[in-house]
Amino acid sequence: MKIKANAQTSSRRSFLQSVAAGSLAVGSAPLLNSTAEAAETPVAAKSRIKLGISTYSYWHFRDPKTPIETVIDRAAALGVEGVDILHRQMDSEEIPYLQKLKRHAFVNGVDLICLSIHQDFVSPNAEDREKAIQHTIRCIRLAHEMGIPSIRLNSGRWGTVRSFNRLMELRGEEPPLEGYTLDNAFEWCIDSINKCLEAAARYGVVLALENHWGLTRTPEGLLRIAKAIDSPWLGVLMDTGNFLEEPYDKLEMIADRAVFVQAKTYYGGGEWYTLDLDYPRIGQILKNVNYSGYVSIEFEGKAPYEEGVSKSVEMLRAALS
């Protein structure tokens, strides 16, 4: 057996030597030069942005509620790669329903890409914060069951302005609770998110902190939280429509930390406000930081859902190409 193995080794060595000689004979110099040039020339990373659709695009918190399965069907028909699920739009949290959604997406060639949830860590009451933490951890498990790699995270807000319509009139600003400061609120939020990270790592679900109302209404507030937490399981969700004034410089400030993007569109006029967003410019902001993730459409206009979403897909494909 040993002699046979040596013979095979010798034969293989002779074959490789003959192949190498043949390669040199047909002109190896250009190949070697090409290889050397490739090694010396850095290849720029290419942005591979893919589109998604938020189920919120078909349901603005008014009855009738559009089923998640219907949005998956619409995404497949439009050739959109992913669906971003609004947690409050789900019919159930039971395992059979979760697995049904996962299967429905798979057989339609659509990825489930984010679970957009609501929670509020801004409270002086430790029990209230703990409820928000446990809700977040439960939603991490839900995302894991559905094969979803990320969840949308809110910081929360003071709640001193009760009406959302009034909050929009105030451009998202509200006063702190009496006797407390912004420093208190940031401390509560950072501590609460830290308590969710173990579950995020265990279940493989990235927490994407959105520039939403409350502490993350400004890029400075968002970055104060993001920079205070050193974990690969926390990133930023860049919502293009939540910086209401002069958004582009603000979006640039957070773009390099973005792990997910939600793109607002307003065909027919916005439900609460309308922004005339320059999406080619936003696309360039994302390309400048080599963003290669999903851009999920959040159609928030008054046009019929089918019309608004279809126009949004067409517009963003052109703007982000």
Q: CA 120: distance to chain centroid?
A: 19
User: In the prediction, which pLDDT does 158 show?
Assistant: 86
Average pLDDT (231-253) is: 96
Confidence class for position 172, pLDDT limits 50, 70, 90: confident
| 8 A C-beta contact, residue 294 and residue 260 | yes
Geometric angle at alpha carbon 141, from 100 and 226, rounded to 5°? 125
Contacts of 303 (CB under 8 A, 6+ apart): 267, 268, 311
Note the pLDDT of residue 299: 98
Task: Output the pLDDT for position 165.
Answer: 76
State the Cα–Cα distance between residues 300 and 7, nearest whole angstrom. 73
Mean pLDDT of the 220-230 span: 97
pLDDT of 3 above 90: no
| Residue percentage of the chain with pLDDT more than 70 | 85
Q: Which tops the pLDDT comparison, 280 or 6?
A: 280
pLDDT tens for residues 277-296?
999 999 999 999 999 999 99
pLDDT at 167: 79
Contact between 191 and 228 under an 8 Å Cβ cutoff? The reply is no
Q: What is the pTM of this model?
A: 0.84
Mean pLDDT over residues 14-29, rounded?
A: 38
- On the question of pLDDT at 183 being above 70, the answer is yes
- CB distance 201 to 193 below 8 Å: no
Residue with the bigger pLDDT between 286 and 172: it is: 286
pLDDT for 48 equals 79
Cβ contacts of 147 within 8 Å, gap of 6 or more: 102, 112
pLDDT for 162 equals 81
Tens-digit pLDDT profile for residues 86-99: 999 999 999 999 99
For residue 51, give both structure tokens: 């589109």
| 239 DSSP 8-state letter | E
pLDDT of residue 47: 58
pLDDT at res. 46: 57
Residue 170 pLDDT grade (very low, low, confident, very high; cuts 50, 70, 90): confident
Average pLDDT over residues 65-86: 98
pLDDT digits (tens, 9 = 90+) for 44-69: 455 578 999 999 999 999 999 999 99
Across 270-274, average pLDDT: 92
Q: Is 19 helix (H, G, I), strand (E, B) or coil?
A: helix
Q: Which of 272 and 98 is assigned the larger pLDDT?
A: 98
Is omega for the bond preceding 64 within 30 degrees of 0, making it cis? Answer: yes
Closest to 141 (Cα-Cα) out of 198, 220, 67, 70? 198
